[in-house]
Structure 1
């Protein structure tokens, strides 16, 4: 008697591999194939099938599988795109954290259910931390802009949604007083002193300074491709910096190493450096030192394109923040000298006129 095949649930397809293994997938039309457990009529299969229908993530021994039309499914596809791969590792990590939070807060909603009103509400819900709200908007705009271009959606729900306006000075810049105070606490030969000298002379971000090493140095010329923007910077190390490097314990591939003798990860370096700043009585960060470096460069007369080259900026506005400030200082000083000179001239002229006037007056 022939064996009667059991009827498969709706949208479930059965496939047999070339090795004879039976596999089941959830698939609507020509959409994404979602792997289901191998055994029909089991509680695990029924639960996975139910989750696939209602749009929730499917957890199987093979990991988390997202059914089509959910936010996680859309983001997973976005993360396979060239648009995503063009981001720096730091940007991808930041946005992945945002996506995980969004998926959790939305209970992995259907992405087709997200409209402009939903995005506005989500931004407002984060308004107590406006910088994070704007990062959220930027991340979601990236997803839906890509989705629109690839016909996953017909309307970008982030279009016309504006970032929150707020005033922030960002990381507090170091002052020369801070720098001398740090020097007094950490002498040449110490790792914190090497860190601050590298950050000051190069203006590198944390993600780059931890990678800087002997392999990037040819004589006194230092060349490195930055991680965030991918731009290549070339700097001539002054003798003072080379002397500090020579006087300090370094690694074979990185100038800065931990107490264990291993290269720093970006996050661990940031925490370590902040602790060393606290030891010196300075409540500031490595990024604030980058600001001091850029300020000193601008005050020394560096042009906008020169600042962009050294600090790896791709945006002119970033460099102009420093050049305009430096120009304003120079113009103010020049004008104050001009005013002082004019005052002296006017005083001398007035005195002479008064003296001449007194001479012409008849004596009593």
Structure 2
């Protein structure tokens, strides 16, 4: 018989002989867990307590509802093998959906029947978020994932999201830093400062904030820096750029991580973003210049230098060419166009074009 091993679980029989289970994490209040270990209601309550949302722990879950589907998803390998940051992002979107009500009022979506969801219901949800296309499309993405999960588990036969289109959006995502913005930041934050070190690590490794805050001298060997990406688990060996080496040599850093807070502690991804936002404001740059925008700028630089998509993927860790194309969309079009013309005839071809136009 397989035994389910879960952290922070206490079990005992009460005076009536009934087996009771509690979640008891050191420093936290004891939380009663319903049902038996491994059951949907138990795993949902356990996951909620583990992630710091114990208000859900005693909720009674009705089979066939979104509450039940979401509980199954939270206890599945699909969810539990995601990175911590991705789980938090997914959970925020899913819980917001679960707790919200249709425009007409009534019960929350979490209490609604999964089998009753139809495409027109989903379109109505997206229409209600039309003013924030990114939020609408994130909701569609989560619903699509949950419906695929439901089909695979025989909870419903079809996926009602299949023919629901995303909301059109003019946004291109995170702003990709320009060379002028990079220069302005560097002019404000001199060599040897923590801000300059953060900029160099983001720009010359092309990694996400979650990876940059974990980097330390123990990851450097033979002129390369080793990265195991938190989001994708991809393992990379990235040669250290001369400018990054210059910044590292000039900057005092922590024992385990290069970048530390004012108190000498490693940053979390979220606290790093908040601190870096202040550094951006100190440099007089507009809002929206984020750490992730430097990852895009690094990809742009690689594209402008003539790197192939596969070479760029070897640095950024992207898995598909589509992702690389999206990240390098800010590559210098004029320079790339000149390079393209030069590749098929250089100056002579360009001269002919000028004469024809004149």
TM-score by length of 1: 0.75
Instruction: Give the count of matched residue pairs.
Output: 306
Q: Does 1:274 align with 2:273?
A: no
For residues 39-58 of structure 1, what are the structure 2 equivalents within 5 Å? none
Cα distance in 2 for residues equivalent to 1:151 and 1:240: 55
Q: Distance in 2 between matches of 1:338 and 1:21?
A: 93
Partner of 2:139: 136
- From 228, 231, 239, the counterpart of 1:228: 231
Q: Secondary structure at the match of 2:190?
A: coil
Greater C-alpha radius of gyration: 1
Is the counterpart of residue 120 in structure 1 residue 123 in structure 2?
A: yes
Corresponding position of 1:84: 79
Structure 1 counterpart of 2:4: none
Residue 299 to residue 202, structure 1, CA distance change in 2 (3 Å):
same
Unaligned runs of 5+ in 1: 1-15, 36-57, 347-364
Contact 1:182 1:277 survives alignment (8 Å): yes
Q: Which residue of 1 aligns with 2:336?
A: 330
String of CA shifts for 1:104-133, please: whole Å, max 9, x gaps: 113222333323222221111111111111
Matches within 5 A, 1:56-75: 63-75=58-70
Q: Is the 8 A contact 2:185 2:283 kept in 1?
A: yes
Contact persistence 1:304–1:323 (CA under 8 A): no
RMSD: 3.2
In the other structure, the counterpart of 2:111 is 109
Greater CA deviation, 115-124 or 332-341?
332-341
Are residues 344 and 34 of structure 1, via their aligned partners in 2, closer, same or farther at CA, if it must alter by over 3 Å? closer
Give 3-state SS (helix, strand or coil) of 2:236's partner.
Answer: strand
Matching residue within 293, 304, 308 for 1:288: 293
Q: Is the 2:40–2:71 contact (alpha carbons within 8 Å) kept by the matching residues of 1?
A: no
1:45 aligns with none
Counterpart for residue 205 of structure 1: 208
User: Which sections of structure 2, spanning at least 5 residues, go unmatched?
Assistant: 1-11, 21-32, 43-53, 102-107
TM-score, scaled relative to structure 2:
0.76
Specify the alignment match of 1:302 in structure 2. 307
> C-alpha distance in 2, partners of 1:179/1:308?
23
